[in-house]
Amino acid sequence: MKKIIRLTESDLKLIIKRVINEDNVFGNIARKALSWAGKNEDDIANLFRTSEKVLAQSIDDIVGNAMKSKSISNLDDIQMKLMHYYNPSAIAENIPKAQQQMKNFLNGYSKSKGKSNWGQIRNEVTGTPQPKAASASSQAVRDIMKGQRVSNRWYGFTDPNYSKYIDWHLVTNAKNMNDYNKVIAQAIKTGDYSYISSKGFEKFGIPNFRDYLKNNIAKVNEVDPSTGRWSVVFK
């Protein structure tokens, strides 16, 4: 019979502490990431450019190897480990905060390298082409959508040729379109858009998805947060 070992929260924190204290590259990255947990991505970008150039070089090496192999496995590994360090006990209610801290750190690094965010680096590694909408300004997108009826069944959400360009690692409260439609429907129904992430739809020409929804809905045709069904007409 296999013996089941159950780890307490104290055990988990001790394990994380030992890993962080190890003399390895990611240990250094993790220590600094934790110490910057309260900083925004612009402040972090400035630190990478000035006093933390050696730390930036460590991440440069990881990204460089990913570029050569055309594999994002090491980039996924950084994200996964950062999430563990920011939320070592995997407490559900702490996940949004940990995700935001991870985004601030990785986006800060990306900005220090002249990139818009971590998602751009990931796309450059995989060679992901930009969709046609990516070259359009947000104003052009508004012009295209003006007066149009858009719903959870919009091709941009349902057609894999388009929906794959949603940067889910930048979306806080959902990791797939079915769940996000429920969040969107709740926002439309209540008028509270705070749970809608601002990022994630940059490749559709929408730099701030939260503000886009909040400020461009002229009419609500239907909305049901329990099923994620919603339909609106844009201004």
List, for residues 126-173, the tens digit of each pLDDT value.
876 544 444 443 444 445 556 677 888 876 677 676 677 788 889 988
Give the C-alpha separation, 232 to 216, whole Å: 10
What pTM was computed for the model?
0.49
> What residues contact residue 183 under an 8 Å CB cut-off, 6+ apart?
173, 174, 195, 196
List, for residues 39-94, the tens digit of each pLDDT value.
999 999 999 999 999 999 989 999 998 888 888 888 888 888 888 888 887 777 78
Cross-strand bridge partners of residue 224 = 229
